[in-house]
Amino acid sequence: VMLFILILLKVSLVYSFKPNWKPKFLPSVLSSSIYSAPRSDVETLQKNYFDEILQQFTLKLTDFSESYNVKNWEHESLSGSVEWWDETKGSKLTGVSKYSIHDSSEKNPYSCYSINVWLGPTLLVPNLLLQMGHKSDGYFLTTDYIARGPYPIGNDFNYLDSYYSNKHIESYYDEIFRLDGVKHLPPSPSFAARLIQSPIHVSAGGLSLSDLQKFSSLHVHTWLQYMKDATPVEARQRGA
């Protein structure tokens, strides 16, 4: 899992410096042609959610992004920042990635902020994926819980009931796409990104700020509660 994460980050960020290139495995909202670039509201949400993660886990900032010269980067109209955090104590997490991408061009301005939490072998709680941003037609949100464990998703009905079929998840998925003006965003062109998506993957555009706050908060806080309630798995089930 760690190797897969490192490869994705390396490809996304090192090659971001190529002219006219945008990371293909990021949600395709980033390739839209009309954006606006207000950043403070979404940046504040990212900071608040990350602070809550820090309160629940003991994390330390690594030098991973510095080693690839992408901690703070710029290329033409594009700029961004990347952080990789490890656990200082415990073995619940493989790590946490936190990054931002911005385009300040007049033609294609946008802002995008992300937090992804990747678990270690001791728990089977799904990995947390969160991406938020803003463009001209409103705010956008991409969320998912990436399944973990020794069995393919769908084979363990207890796992599905625990993390994918509870009332919070069902109401979240149904409600967000009933909002006026909200639309499904096209799937990522990356096969690797589509391969790991769960049945409750959500990618919605045209949101208001209050809608973004509501649904991103529900996504993060539901996952944090999963982690509080989780118990370590038996040794024979680890390593998946």
* Average pLDDT along the chain, 240 residues, taken 10 residues at a time: 46 36 37 46 96 95 92 93 91 93 86 95 93 91 90 83 83 88 89 88 94 95 94 69
The three-point CA angle 21-114-49 to 5° equals 165
Which phi and psi angles does 53 have, rounded to 5°? -65, -40
The three-point CA angle 16-22-24 to 5° equals 110
H-type alpha helices, the chain = 2-14, 40-56, 64-67, 157-163, 167-176, 191-195, 209-229
Question: What number of other Cβ atoms are within 10 A of residue 113's Cβ?
Answer: 25
By DSSP bridging, strand 59-61 and strand 78-87 are: antiparallel
Among candidate residues 178, 160, 182, the one with its CA nearest the CA of residue 169: 160
Query: How far is Cα 215 from Cα 95, in angstroms, rounded to an integer?
Result: 24
Q: Residue 238: what pLDDT?
A: 59
96: helix, coil or strand? Answer: strand
Q: Residue 101: what pLDDT?
A: 94
Query: How far is Cα 155 from Cα 158, in angstroms, rounded to an integer?
Result: 9
Give, for 184, the enclosing helix (H) or strand (E). Answer: strand 183-184
pTM of the model: 0.80
Contact residues for 181 (Cβ-Cβ < 8 A; gap 6+): 138, 206
Whose tokens are 């096969």? That residue is: 191
Among candidate residues 61, 101, 104, the one with its CA nearest the CA of residue 83: 61
Are 142 and 129 contacting, i.e. CB atoms less than 8 angstroms apart? yes
Among candidate residues 157, 12, 8, the one with its CA nearest the CA of residue 78: 12
